[in-house]
Amino acid sequence: MPNQAPFEISDQKVFPGTRAQIDLPISILPDHTPVGLSLEVIHGKREGPTMFVSAAVHGDELIGVEIVRRLLRAPQLKSLRGTLLVIPVVNSFGFLNRSRYLPDRRDLNRCFPGHPSGSLGSRLAHIFLNEVVLRCDFGIDLHSAAIHRTNLPQVRISPS
């Protein structure tokens, strides 16, 4: 059975069986450069759960970015049931500067739940939480060790 309706996000519609790149507006820099959260929405032809996969909440954690890149090329996405929201880089400022942190040295992971009129990190956390996380039935937020660090594999859950 096909999905009954398109998936709507940020005043944009993604129709069943299609995918779209969406930029969620976060803020505007003093030089008028827009700041956004880029994601790809894959809306399956058939009904199913909505899930997100995100990477680089800490901009220096690169392994998740590659995992997401490979996920977006997976041929199995053509037969997806439900909707997949993929955010390759949540903290683009940290990613571009090879830093764990935002430009103001805040850890984005400590900015949640955020606020629509707060700091850059607070706005980003607010948009990510409200436009992505809370709209999903499931989510995977990928983390890895940064350079000169070691992490052991782990899975954390929030039972609901």
pLDDT per residue rounded down to tens, the chain (160 residues): 554 799 999 999 999 999 999 999 999 989 999 999 999 999 999 999 999 999 999 999 999 999 999 999 999 999 999 999 999 999 999 999 999 999 999 999 999 999 999 999 999 999 999 999 999 999 999 999 888 888 888 888 887 6
- Determine the pLDDT at residue 2: 52
**Strand, coil or helix: what is 67?**
helix
pTM across the whole model: 0.92
- Determine the pLDDT at residue 143: 94
Domain ranges of the chain: 13-141
| Interatomic CA distance for residues 103 and 95, integer angstroms | 11
Q: Of 20, 23, 156, 137, whose CA–CA distance to 81 is shortest?
A: 137
**Strand, coil or helix: what is 72?**
helix
Planar angle of CA 26, 45, 9, nearest 5 degrees: 15
Q: Which fold has domain 13-141?
A: Aminopeptidase (3.40.630)
Structure tokens at 104: 């103001």
| Interatomic CA distance for residues 74 and 50, integer angstroms | 18
**DSSP, residue by residue, 78-139:** GG-EEEEEEES-S-HHHHHTT-SS-TTS--GGGSTT--TTS-HHHHHHHHIIIIIGGG-SEE
Give rounded-to-5 percent helix, strand, coil for the chain.
25, 30, 45
